[in-house]
Amino acid sequence: MSQNNDLPLKETIGFIGGGNMAYAIASGLISKGVLKAEQIWVSATALEKLRNRWSPLGVTHCTINNEDIVTEADIIFICVKPQLCIRILPDIDCVAKNTKVNMWGKLFVSIMAGVTLDRLRTLMPSVNKANLVRAMPNTPLQVGVGCTVFCSFSDCLSNNYALHKTVQFMFGALGLAYEVKESQINAVTGLAGCGPAYVYEFIEALADGGVKQGIPRDMALRLAAQTVMGAAKTVLETGKHPAVLKDEVCSPGGATIHGVHALEQGSMRGTVMNAVERAANRADQLS
């Protein structure tokens, strides 16, 4: 097993499903030097489309056969839509049951929203429970500032400790990574997993406000995105509560407090809290 300071990792990484999240993880790991492109395998149903997207990363191991991923990879990320689990996971189990390859050294990491560890275990009974991890990353992993939480069967962690540490290292190389209780996964899905979409909405609205005031569209969008990035970095690096930082910007009778008043009139905070709650509830429903 590779050590954290020995880059790139030696393990082969496979992705069942080549969509946005798989691409975000892979491209982030390549750009950070954690993996080389030739260590990556990826499968999807449309081979030409898969190659067109992944080839620019240098990934050449593209296939329509999930069996190739299970056979060739040491760590297999299951990156399909959760409603497909009842079709995909039994196929994986069939490979695990019939293959002559040693399955003990492999780890399966599911990023399917709402699909519990027990559900993974039920649909893949031939895979040892110590080889199952459930994770919830978000797409900013591709630029190295992602958020990921993950969990495993607590009574099995020591049985496959080295592989679990490698997963934690990979996600940690791409941003924040926390191991949590499975009961917290859906809440984090509503906050961090879905959160980038909320922020993109805010950036777009902020830019639209600038355009309304006469700022050119391209400039307004870049100013809005930079403002959000700068504010987020200030929270992380100063350790100050956002309310304290907000008060530091709001001069008495100034422009900022008038803008904040407009946000309060629009119930922005309550709306964002509702968005997190609804997304978390939907993840619960998917379970």
CATH topology of domain 13-180: Rossmann fold (3.40.50)
The pLDDT score that the predictor gives to residue 271 is: 96
pLDDT per position in the chain (287 positions), as tens?
A: 344 455 678 899 999 999 999 999 999 999 999 999 999 999 999 999 999 999 999 999 999 999 999 999 999 999 999 888 899 999 888 887 776 666 667 899 999 988 999 999 999 998 888 889 999 999 999 899 999 999 988 765 555 667 778 888 999 999 999 999 999 999 999 999 999 999 999 999 999 999 999 999 999 999 999 999 999 999 999 999 999 999 999 999 999 999 999 999 999 999 999 999 999 999 888 76
The pLDDT score that the predictor gives to residue 96 is: 77
Q: Is 212 exposed, middle or buried (0-12, 13-18, 19+ CB in 10 A)?
A: exposed
How many helices and strands (H and E) does the chain possess?
12, 8
Question: pLDDT digit string (tens) for 105-162?
Answer: 789 999 998 899 999 999 999 888 888 999 999 999 989 999 999 998 876 555 566 7
Distance CA 17, CA 44 (A): 5
Q: Which residue, chain included where needed, has tokens 């069942």?
A: 16
- 189-286: which CATH architecture? Orthogonal Bundle (1.10)
Q: Annotation-wise, does 18 bind a ligand?
A: yes
Cβ–Cβ < 8 Å for 114, 84: no
The pLDDT score that the predictor gives to residue 118 is: 93
Distance CA 223, CA 210 (A): 9
Q: Annotation-wise, does 16 bind a ligand?
A: yes
By DSSP bridging, strand 146-152 and strand 132-136 are antiparallel
Which residue from 277, 287, 58, 63 is spatially nearest to 187, judged by alpha carbons? 277
The pLDDT score that the predictor gives to residue 2 is: 42
Alpha helices in the chain (DSSP H): 20-31, 47-54, 66-72, 85-98, 117-123, 161-172, 185-188, 195-212, 217-238, 242-249, 255-265, 268-286
Q: Annotation-wise, does 21 bind a ligand?
A: yes
Tell me how many degrees the CA angle 83-84-90 measures, rounded to the nearest 5.
130
Q: Annotation-wise, does 17 bind a ligand?
A: yes
Which residue from 114, 118, 149 is spatially nearest to 284, judged by alpha carbons? 114
Q: Annotation-wise, does 144 bind a ligand?
A: no
The pLDDT score that the predictor gives to residue 101 is: 60
Which amino acid is located at 119 in the chain? R
- Percent of the chain exceeding pLDDT 90 equals 75
Residue spans of the domains in the chain: they are 13-180, 189-286
The pLDDT score that the predictor gives to residue 3 is: 43
Q: Annotation-wise, does 30 bind a ligand?
A: no
